[in-house]
A and B are shown apart, each in its own frame.
Chain A
């Protein structure tokens, strides 16, 4: 079974530029999560989708971050404009159903903002 796929693995941009990350969850998984992991910290949930609807985006900085999952499968997370403090690893995770006890994580996309 293929795991959660993310791209790009690494991205370096200058502040005020924009960046987009892509995630393809495990086939059949209805719930998709984007987490932000700043160096030295644990992952923090940014946004959660159930199919193509948003369940929780309370921690998403909506002035600069946006995410979509238009067809209920893959998802894109965008940052525009980026700030230095956005440097982090962006982890995508999926689960079969909402409230599942098992989340499967991708390898993450590492963003460096200069």
Chain B
């Protein structure tokens, strides 16, 4: 089955850029997502990219997709303390009913 891997922790200084990485195994993944989870809260969809795209930019967020290496990254520019949270990578496969397979999450800590 599909496997999604992320590094567990990332610490950056306020104002720096953060890059969170994710690798996946199934080449039939159709949509690839980044979700944010703050303590005690549900999952908030940040952005997603379709598998035929290489890059998507949305304000401070840039998503890069390398299909050959099955590698997805999320770059947060000008990281703020409010960006401290757990970030989940997830992959969806078309014709599997919208089911998402999640990574284990990367805890981003932003120090002032």
Write the residues of chain A forming the contact surface with B, with a CB cutoff of 8 angstroms: 4, 31, 33, 40-45, 48, 50, 55-56, 91, 93, 95, 98-108
Within the complex, the shortest CB–CB distance from A95 to chain B, in Å, comes to: 6
Residue from A42, A55, A105 in contact with B105 in the complex, judged by beta carbons closer than 8 Å: A42
**B-side interface size class:** 20 to 34
Nearest to A99 among chain B residues (CB) is: B98
Nearest to A40 among chain B residues (CB) is: B104
User: Which residues, 32 to 66 on B, are CB-close (under 8 Å) to A?
Assistant: 35, 40-45, 48, 50
Taking CB atoms, residues of chain A closer than 8 Å to B31 are: 101
A99 and B98 alpha carbons, distance in the complex (Å): 4
Nearest to A49 among chain B residues (CB) is: B97
Known: A42-B90, A48-B99, A98-B97. A91 touches B104 (CB 8 A): no
Contact A103 B97 (CB under 8 A): no
Contact B98 A105 (CB under 8 A): no
Contact B98 A106 (CB under 8 A): no
Nearest to A59 among chain B residues (CB) is: B99
A94 and B19 alpha carbons, distance in the complex (Å): 29
The 7 closest A-B pairs by CB, nearest first: A42-B102, A105-B42, A105-B43, A107-B42, A55-B97, A42-B104, A101-B31
A64 and B45 alpha carbons, distance in the complex (Å): 31
